Each structure stands twice: as C-alpha cells, then as structure tokens.
Amino acid sequence: MNVLYEERFGGPQSLALQVAASLRQRGLETIIVIPRGDAAFATLLREAQVAFRELDLVRLRKSRDPVVHARFVARFWPNVRVLRGLIREHEAKIVHTNGLMNLQAAIAARLEHVPLVWHLNDMESPRLLRTVFLPFVRRWADRIAVGARAIGRFYFPDTSGGEGRLHLVYPPVDPEKFNPGVDGSKVRAEFGIPDACPLIGTVANLGPGKGLEYLIEAAPRIKERFPTAKFILVGQWLENRRPYWLSLMRRREELGLARDVFFAGQRRDMPEVMRALTVYVHPSESEGCSVAVLEASASGLPVVATDVGGTSEAVENGVAGLLIEPRQPSQITAAVIRLLESPGLARQMGMAASARMRERFTLDACVREHMRVYSAALDRAAARRQGHHPTLRAAETRERSRNVS
C-alpha cells in the first residue's frame, strides 16, 4: 500500500504510478492511497488499471489559517483508522509512505504490525521540522528510500543516522516515451511557433520556489540576442498559489512579453512538448531529483538547471547540460544564449543527456530497486519479530555504503 498526501500530480505521483503499473505486470499488486482533489491523477491511475482509494487525507500546511490546522487535527486519527482498515482489507504486506511530516500511514503500519518503507523526496523541510519528525522515521521505518544522494545527506548528514536502512531510489524516465525521435511539430503549431524560432521551456506546477519568475526576467535579454525566441511554461495552475501565478502574468505584461511567453497549463502530451523545445530550463530554488529534468534529458534536450539538491546527479555539468546558481536571471540568460549560439554543442549535450538517462534512470532499474527495498523491509521486520537485532544491525551496516554513499 503506497500512501501519497499531495492532491496535485507531481514527481512522487508519477513515480508511484509508473512503479505500481510495472509491479502489476510482475504479479505484484499495489493499492495507491491519494487525497481527494485531483481528478487528473485518479484518471491516470484508472487508465493504468492501478488500484487506488481516495480519502480525506490531511497534511500539515504552511498556513496561518486556524481552520486549516483545526481540520488537520480533527481528521488525523480518522485518517489512521481508515488506513488501518485498508491494510486489513487488502492484506497489505508493506506500507510505503511519502513525505517527512505525514505520520498517519506510519502509525497505521505500526499498529497493524506491517513493515514500513518511508520515502523522502524533497529537501524543503526546515531544521525545526526535521528535528521533530526525523525521530519517527528513525524509530519506525524498516527501510528509508531517498530520491537522490543529496536528499540522504540532507536528512542524514551522518549516513549512520539512517542505521543502514537508506536506499537510493532515483525516479524513472521511460525512454520509449521520451526520446529524441518524438515529433514536437504539433505543439509548435498549436502555439503558432515556426520551426526556426528558438523555443525555451520549463515544466513545473505554478507555485513559489519553482523559480519561474527568474526565467521570465531572463527572457528580454535572451530576445535581444535572438529576437524570434519564444518561451513556454508548462504546469498546473495551483489555486492556493493564485497570487504567485498572477504575479508571473503581470510581470510578463510589464516586460512586453505577452506574445512571447506562453502559459500552457497541465498537459498530457509531455513527450511531444519536450521535443518542441530547443532548450529546457529548470530554474527551481529547491529540488530533490526532478522528473521534468529527467524527461527533458531523455528527450535529447540540452538542459540549463539550477545546481540545487540532486540536480547535479541527473545533469553532468558541461557534458549533458549547464548548471547555474538559483535566483540568477543573468546566469539563465548566459547559459541559454551559449546553447543557442552553439547548436552543435547543444545537440552534443542533448545526446549525452539522453544516453545518461537510458543508462541510469530507467523504469526497470527503479522497479528493481523498489523490489529490493520491499524485500529488505520484510526481512528486517521478520528479524525484528524474532529478536535478531545484532545480526540485523551488522547486515544493515554492510549495506549502508553500497546504497547511498
């Protein structure tokens, strides 16, 4: 049973969907538990024939509204009760929970005596929250999955803090869907962008921290050198982040870019969108291991990305793309112009990026790692029940350096 607490579709949701569908082909069933609120994700799960259940899951939110926090308190233990019922109903052998601060599934697993895998995918938790919640992870998790080495170092600066239970599980990209051979001409035609025009794009839900404002700020300087350049921002409009995306639209108007910067919303033709681009820019201020970066790379695009989190593990600087500092429009400008001025270099980087994805970030590799994590969690739980703690600790110590160092 895999429990996700974000109602919007993003990297963790994509990972859970792809892995569950692949495990199903191997005869292993997954039920994915999601909060109500995103019909798009439910539709994708249904189309992939992956079992899922929508619940009124609550999570801690950055809000000063007491009603929001009151709802969290009121629904917390009912969440635990329903999750316990699902564990029993589906005879779940593993509970896989996502996010540092989401305790309901972890508590349900403990109360039902089911092995627990705790998945950490981001690096946004403040020190205070890490201090509060990491003890639960250390004490309860039979295995801890991290989406990048940088995430492991962020939560466990001393690798022994995970007591040998850390596993590196990169998100996957499907090279059958995302590859240089995909035709992006229909996407360009949709937005009226000729083939000869450079198209610079990014993919992210429209919310603070994604750095989209810095790409917009860079656009006028890029257009000074390449007047026909166009820009496309692909991603869901988050209603609870309305002031942010309204500020993006306002800034677009102020800079005179109304005909040059397109907000494309959420798309279901992402392979075609990627191949419509000339350069992919990922200006995020914080990142684990971005699925969008992996998809752009697999599509054979040169990537300009901020060197945050695990991005450098996906993008080899100077070989498969260019890494820059966050919050620096001038660096975005310089990197994009460099690639547009050197199409041979851009093509070489794109091909190197695509090869890197096929080698290191395949779905098969991700699924195999999930199966290894689940098997290790089952073994640890069995050993714990039998009281074999010394042997268990020695085996985990041997695994530690192999998994995340």
Rounded CA gap, 227 and 260, in Å?
Answer: 10
Q: Residue 392's pLDDT band (boundaries 50, 70, 90)?
A: very low
Indicate the residue type of 322.
L
Its pTM stands at 0.89
Q: Kindly report, residue by residue over 307-323, the tens digit of the pLDDT.
A: 999 999 999 999 999 99
Rounded CA gap, 161 and 165, in Å?
Answer: 9
Q: Kindly report, residue by residue over 113-160, the tens digit of the pLDDT.
A: 999 999 999 998 999 999 999 999 999 999 999 999 999 999 998 755
Q: Kindly report, residue by residue over 215-243, the tens digit of the pLDDT.
A: 999 999 999 999 999 999 999 888 878 99
Interval 92-104 mean pLDDT? 97
Structural domains in the chain plus CATH codes = 2-172+363-404 (3.40.50.2000), 185-360 (3.40.50.2000)
3-state secondary structure the chain: CEECCCCCCCHHHHHHHHHHHHHHHCCCCCEEEEECCCHHHHHHHHHCCCEEEEECCCCCCCCCCHHHHHHHHHHHHHHHHHHHHHHHHHCCCCEEEECCCCCHHHHHHHHHCCCEEEEECCCCCCHHHHHHHHHHHHHHCCEEEECCHHHHHHHCCCHHHHCCCEEECCCCCCCCCCCCCCCCHHHHHHCCCCCCCCEEEEECCECCCCCHHHHHHHHHHHHHHCCCCEEEEECCECHHHHHHHHHHHHHHHHCCCCCCEEEEECCCCHHHHHHHCCEEEECCCCCCCCHHHHHHHHCCCCEEEECCCCHHHHCCECCCEEEECCCCHHHHHHHHHHHHHCHHHHHHHHHHHHHHHHHHCCHHHHHHHHHHHHHHHHHHHHHHHHCCHHHHHHHHHHHHHHHHC
Q: What is the pLDDT of residue 40?
A: 86
Contact by Cβ (8 Å): 385, 34: no
